[in-house]
Structure 1
Amino acid sequence: MHKPEQYQNDAMNPISVDPAAPLFIVLNAASGSDEAVTVREIIETELKQAGRKFELSLVTRAETIADVARDTVRRAREHNGVVVAAGGDGTINAMAQATLGSGCPFGIIPQGTFNYFGRTHNLPENTIEATRVLLSPLAYPIQVGLVNDRVFLVNASLGLYPQVLEDRETYKRKLGRNRWVAWLSGLYTVLHYHRRLNLTIEYKGKVSTLVTPTLFVGNNRLQLEQIGIEEASVADNGELTAIAIRPVNTLTMIGLGFRGALGQLGEADHVVSFSFQSIVVKPALLFGRKFIKVATDGEITRLHSPIKFRVADQPLYLLKPAPVEKK
């Protein structure tokens, strides 16, 4: 396994990108809104004015994005091109999944609600400015998390958090996509969720047990900083951060949610957090569930137990503004 130092000082280890390399862009238009049409026009206008070759594919059905992503990466490899994801964290995740290990540089045009990945790497939320970043001459190594064989750039989780995400999508379809809807739907889920995970965790050669409503693994410095987790900086340095909550009543759980919103979750007595490069998680019972619901960057799937969280052996190379060196 690689050492954490592989991801340190990313400003010193970029790769050069051919200024003539074609861009292979996937734009998520699955929501069916007119906004996707506007975004497409902006991207095409900016790249034509810059004289840059590109191909743009629209995803109109969410269930096809994995196939589109694989085909896009194949074409990018054939033409020594750059893979670009235009969409929210879920779209970026699907494109990153296909791109990891391909040797292609990776670019994004953020379009989601929270955009933790894009904001962490100082990528503009304005479509015009984000498109211009795709013309950057350098791509920087970005740490990738894996849960079994699935990529996550922001977070992966078991238990309560995947349920929060499922309920959030239901309410967003009914009430619209904004942060207030996301927050209120999360509160509703916490009030009605009473399950607990009984887990065994293998970590650094030792096995321990954990009873918790949720296990959250972070790979995004900005998100971890916002909720007040001390280990936030490891997300840039070759490690992930696990966060678990000891069993508590509903009122205490709501209080923890408010503490997270205030950036004080790491100070709570009921919260356990630690950094790692690799852990294995499985149901503690001998006849535990073979498949466990897992969320990766907001997308829900079921993975076969045991569940292994680890840092990928190789990074993605992201087109982004040059990092500011700390003095």
Structure 2
Amino acid sequence: MKEPTARSAVVLLNAKSGQGCPPEMVASLQDKLAQRGLVAQVVLFQDGSELLAAAARASSDGVPLVIAAGGDGTVSAVASQLAGTATVLGVLPMGTLNHFAKDLGLPMDLDAALDVLAGGRTVAVDVGEVNGRVFINNSSIGIYPDIVLDRERQRRRLGRGKWPALAVACLNVLRRHPSMYVELQVEGERLLRRSPFVFIGNNRYEVEGFAIGSRTALDTGRLSLYMAHHGGRFGLLRLALLALLQRLRQADDFEMLEAAELVIRPARRRIRVAADGEVLVMQTPLQYRVRPGALRVRAPSQAPA
């Protein structure tokens, strides 16, 4: 890896994205960054382990800016290696949803996003952790990890597209009426709940209206927790309807809490946990905490209106 300069950067790009990464694509990206005063080395990765290793190596080599070119999964993996270091994360939103990039206020246009990398500001944002695993968006237990696994099985075995597979996976999981008992410790208070899911966000998520699933701040130093009190298809569909009608906060079977740290003790010793879309099997109890301002990231010069 070449010796870093004050305006040097490393771009981490998925070699399998789209139709692959032909040399002209890599050269074009390097040229666009050079036009903006950034000398960039593009590193192609084939899988998650290569991505993690490349991000850690760039940070330890003192590269000042490491750019994650991809979706939330790629950004989360790179962020996990940069949190707590002086290395700045840059984001080129090239995924399907790009939740973190949108919440950061980044433009979805590639050239505009490149302008932010070169001329934006560096801000400190929070990251969440579950049993030491960093997440930038959210983590959950219950129905969502099962939906993700069902969706991926359909894509591998049946060749379904992402959205059709997701729709079928939701129906499959909800048909089983899943629910679980959990004990929570939230800032000294012990809670016993039965719920189909527990969702933990890095900062507060909008849960009502058409802005549902977005965040207006990434630096409040708090985790947000959301859970339903009853399972079943119709109960969850009712909550979804209330969310669209902006009446979810008044529902007596939906609970929202905030904390800097919390502990979740499900009945099982090992449980599936989703963290930024990746499903892991973890030992319980699940120890969640927020790390305020642990990640330095490039953001637009002015906060979005």
For this structure pair, what is the TM-score category when the shorter chain's length is used for normalisation? 0.7 to 0.9
**Equivalent residue for 1:242, pick from 222, 225, 228:** 225
* Contact 1:241–1:275, Cα closer than 8 Å, also in 2: yes
2:275 matched residue in structure 1: 296
Mapped to 1, the partners of 2:166 and 2:250 lie a distance apart of 21
Quote the RMSD (CA, aligned, Å): 3.0
Distance 1:208 1:250, change over 3 A: same
Mapped to 1, the partners of 2:108 and 2:96 lie a distance apart of 10
Mapped to 1, the partners of 2:111 and 2:304 lie a distance apart of 26
Residue 8 of structure 2 is aligned to residue 25 of structure 1: no
Mapped to 2, the partners of 1:99 and 1:297 lie a distance apart of 16
Between 1:308-317 and 1:263-272, the stretch displaced more is: 263-272
Q: Aligned to 2:119, what secondary structure does the other structure show?
A: coil
Q: Deviations over 1:118-145 (max 9, x none)?
A: 0111112122221221112520111211
* Contact 2:99–2:137, Cα closer than 8 Å, also in 1: yes
Which consecutive residues of structure 2, in runs of 5 or more, have no partner in the other structure? Answer: none
> Deviation at 1:219?
2.0
**Equivalent residue for 1:126, pick from 109, 124, 127:** 109
Distance 1:86 1:226, change over 3 A: farther
Distance 1:74 1:214, change over 3 A: same
Residue 38 of structure 2 is aligned to residue 59 of structure 1: no
AA aligned opposite 1:323: Q
1:135 matched residue in structure 2: 118
Q: Aligned to 2:69, what secondary structure does the other structure show?
A: strand
Residue 57 of structure 2 is aligned to residue 71 of structure 1: yes
**Equivalent residue for 2:32, pick from 27, 33, 46:** 46
AA aligned opposite 1:65: L
Distance 1:43 1:252, change over 3 A: same
Which consecutive residues of structure 1, in runs of 5 or more, have no partner in the other structure? Answer: 1-17
Matches within 5 A, 1:135-154: 135-136=118-119, 138-154=121-137
**Equivalent residue for 1:167, pick from 139, 150, 157:** 150
Matches within 5 A, 1:171-190: 171-172=154-155, 174-177=159-162, 180-181=163-164, 184-190=167-173
> Deviation at 1:244?
0.6
2:262 matched residue in structure 1: 279
Q: Aligned to 1:135, what secondary structure does the other structure show?
A: helix
**What is the TM-score with the length of structure 2 in the denominator?**
0.85
Q: Aligned to 1:282, what secondary structure does the other structure show?
A: strand
Tell me the percent identity: 28
> Deviation at 1:274?
1.0
> Deviation at 1:311?
1.0
Distance 1:168 1:223, change over 3 A: farther
Aligned length: 299
> Deviation at 1:193?
3.6
* Contact 2:208–2:244, Cα closer than 8 Å, also in 1: no
> Deviation at 1:225?
5.7
Distance 1:138 1:324, change over 3 A: closer
Structure number with the higher strand fraction is: 2
